[in-house]
Chain A
């Protein structure tokens, strides 16, 4: 695996696309700032490409463990009123959410 070649730094448009994927309504000023800063950070982190990693397995976790199970028994949930008290909006004993579908699908 080699270092990805970057003809130029992360563009403003790329940052805007990534911000949209990340659900961040960034401002124009932030786009300018982040494009520059993230370009510098990407140049730095791209150094991982220097490593010789033929036949090296990736480490996802420091402790090698898979499939940790617990007994399948019901446990009490958090009290509804306490959870709803922490929600930004509640109605009829439920969390109220903004609509998820447009007027015309």
Chain B
């Protein structure tokens, strides 16, 4: 059955529809892999095998009854633990929510449930999605399937490790400053951050509300597009949800895979690893990136350098805006309505109980960001920090707007380095934050961006980022699919097929 756990989700959908495999057998194959490997990988925080098999059997029964099922029906799935799931423990990687079973489903969880997908479990993450290595999880360390001594990226590192390690066919992640794209890059997956507002945030435990966006993490570009289509679209429960038709993504991926990019205008962002901006970038990452830009040219694209000067300030602007919004969002964890309560002995008043609860329930990075955000928003510092950061955000958006006059997409490395050793950056927040250098501009501007594998450096995956104008997510998929198809053809196999070979070596 191990073949099933390396098969693309699109192909699994075909096998299920054709009756060549049952959802129960498929789900069991994944549960077996989880039972065998997750002690070592640490991808999941919660797995309910019985519930998974039960929903798989329901799909099989509906199919046997001749019911008309959607293309995703019966395909297993993993959700990042930031996604609220009715009756299923949801922690956002934090002790403050340990044991909480939400009374409702996030919109995207409900859509995937209605599509007949089978929930395998909830994946590990940096606490409240704050981090780039998943080491800020209050629960466990997650390891990179390519090298167990290295991090799987973050904050969606449980999702990346699960999919790359064959413990889920695909997964949902969330991206605030790069938390889908960077873990996808360092584990050899495709990860897409949708246009802000195009996937509902209702039921995602909020970190930074003006930036948070959920999206797909998958083994292939087509799989990512299919999963994205299943969760996208207007939701009246999210007041920032865009009321516009969902772009045609899977079709764009299929068209892109035909490999013709003639006429496509590609801008290479100078400030993200280009001339004079290579500090902190590994040589292997820059080499794979340059080769991939050349590949785009060979597929017919017109490539030119594009300078976006304000991108140099994306990192400081982000690390003011996101902590500021977080300090406000995380005020809801007050020990009153749900989750942990500490020190409620009848003598202490609410303020004391609240402070003790939050002290015990939050980990160090969350506390750091709450304190930083409180500082940046405080009287006397607001204009210089938070207000100034919001103006830098405007400048970054202007750089993108100017770029779109001359190019259709912008490209860069997804992250400056490959996966680093577990523990290497835990005591140095600034070094940890640098992992987001290339992903932050698209986050701040709210535009779509995809990471697609573009080769190995020292035997570890490197990601290539494609950014497009707002609502032009289809362009990301088209270009990524063209690159994926050309690289697969040259290699004679899919990117992830290199993983077992390497692990065995």
**Is B a genuine binding partner of A?**
yes
Docked pose: A34 CA to B433 CA in angstroms = 16
Docked pose: A38 CA to B394 CA in angstroms = 26
Interface string of A53-72 (1 = CB under 8 A from B): 10011111111010010100
Is B71 part of the binding interface, using a Cβ–Cβ cutoff of 8 Å? no
Q: Which residues of A contact B319 (CB under 8 A)?
A: 41, 44-45
Contact B350 A98 (CB under 8 A): yes
Q: Which residues of A contact B307 (CB under 8 A)?
A: none
Interface string of A70-105 (1 = CB under 8 A from B): 100000001100110111110000010111111000
Contact A15 B395 (CB under 8 A): no
Docked pose: A26 CA to B407 CA in angstroms = 50
Docked pose: A88 CA to B317 CA in angstroms = 37
Contact A88 B336 (CB under 8 A): yes
| Contacts A53-B388, A63-B197; A41 near B430 (Cβ below 8 A) | yes
Contact B368 A57 (CB under 8 A): no
| Contacts A24-B359, A37-B429, A44-B316; A70 near B351 (Cβ below 8 A) | no
Contact A61 B210 (CB under 8 A): yes
Contact B350 A100 (CB under 8 A): yes
Q: Which residues of B contact A38 (CB under 8 A)?
A: 368, 371-372, 375
Contact A24 B370 (CB under 8 A): yes
Contact A34 B367 (CB under 8 A): yes
Q: Which residues of A contact B112 (CB under 8 A)?
A: none
Distance of B387 from chain A, by nearest CB (Å): 6
Q: Which residues of A contact B320 (CB under 8 A)?
A: 45, 48
* CB proximity to A under 8 Å, residues B78-131: 100-104
Q: Which residue of A lies closest to B237 (CB)?
A: A70
Contact B316 A46 (CB under 8 A): yes
Is B334 part of the binding interface, using a Cβ–Cβ cutoff of 8 Å? yes
Docked pose: A11 CA to B336 CA in angstroms = 32
Q: Which residue of A lies closest to B375 (CB)?
A: A18
Q: Which residue of B lies closest to A26 (CB)?
A: B359
Q: Which of A10, A23, A40 contacts B354 (CB 8 A)?
A: A23
Is B362 part of the binding interface, using a Cβ–Cβ cutoff of 8 Å? yes
Q: Which of B313, B336, B393, B397 contacts A97 (CB 8 A)?
A: B336
Is B353 part of the binding interface, using a Cβ–Cβ cutoff of 8 Å? yes
| Contacts A45-B320, A83-B103, A87-B338; A22 near B391 (Cβ below 8 A) | no
Q: Which of B240, B335, B344, B392 contacts A48 (CB 8 A)?
A: B392
Q: Which of B337, B338, B374, B446 contacts A22 (CB 8 A)?
A: B374
| Contacts A23-B334, A44-B319; A49 near B374 (Cβ below 8 A) | no
Q: Which residues of B contact A88 (CB under 8 A)?
A: 335-336, 338-341, 344
Interface string of B224-247 (1 = CB under 8 A from A): 000000000000100110100000
Contact A95 B371 (CB under 8 A): no
Contact B344 A89 (CB under 8 A): yes
Docked pose: A99 CA to B393 CA in angstroms = 43
Decide if the interface of chain A is mainly helix, strand, loop or mixed. loop
Contact A49 B384 (CB under 8 A): yes
Q: Which residues of A contact B344 (CB under 8 A)?
A: 88-89, 98
Contact A48 B196 (CB under 8 A): no
Contact B393 A102 (CB under 8 A): no
Docked pose: A2 CA to B387 CA in angstroms = 12
Is B286 part of the binding interface, using a Cβ–Cβ cutoff of 8 Å? no
Q: Which residues of A contact B269 (CB under 8 A)?
A: none
Interface residues on A, range: 35 or more
Contact A23 B351 (CB under 8 A): yes
Docked pose: A90 CA to B364 CA in angstroms = 30
Contact B349 A41 (CB under 8 A): no
Contact A19 B371 (CB under 8 A): yes
Is B487 part of the binding interface, using a Cβ–Cβ cutoff of 8 Å? no
Interface string of B339-381 (1 = CB under 8 A from A): 1110010001111111110110010100110111011101001
Q: Which residues of A contact B419 (CB under 8 A)?
A: none
Contact B350 A53 (CB under 8 A): no
Is B390 part of the binding interface, using a Cβ–Cβ cutoff of 8 Å? yes
Contact A59 B394 (CB under 8 A): yes
Q: Which residue of B lies closest to A21 (CB)?
A: B374
Q: Which of A1, A10, A23 contacts B383 (CB 8 A)?
A: A1
| Contacts A60-B210, A62-B446, A79-B103; A53 near B370 (Cβ below 8 A) | no
Is B445 part of the binding interface, using a Cβ–Cβ cutoff of 8 Å? yes
Q: Which residue of B lies closest to A50 (CB)?
A: B313
Contact B103 A63 (CB under 8 A): no
Contact B391 A56 (CB under 8 A): yes
Q: Which residues of A contact B358 (CB under 8 A)?
A: 22-25
* CB proximity to A under 8 Å, residues B1-28: none
Contact B100 A86 (CB under 8 A): yes
Distance of B328 from chain A, by nearest CB (Å): 10
Docked pose: A30 CA to B351 CA in angstroms = 20
Q: Which residues of A contact B384 (CB under 8 A)?
A: 1-4, 46, 49
Contact B359 A25 (CB under 8 A): yes
| Contacts A86-B338, A95-B336; A44 near B242 (Cβ below 8 A) | no
Q: Which residues of B contact A18 (CB under 8 A)?
A: 371, 374-375, 378
Contact A87 B393 (CB under 8 A): no
6 more contacts with CB within 8 A, not counting A23-B358, A41-B368, are A4-B385, A23-B351, A45-B316, A51-B310, A53-B395, A88-B339
Q: Write 8 A-B pairs (CB below 8 A) sorted by A numbering.
A: A38-B372, A41-B368, A45-B316, A51-B391, A56-B395, A62-B444, A63-B240, A89-B341
A contacts, CB < 8 Å to B: 1-4, 10, 14-15, 18-27, 30, 33-34, 37-38, 40-42, 44-51, 53, 56-63, 65, 68, 70, 78-79, 82-83, 85-89, 95, 97-102
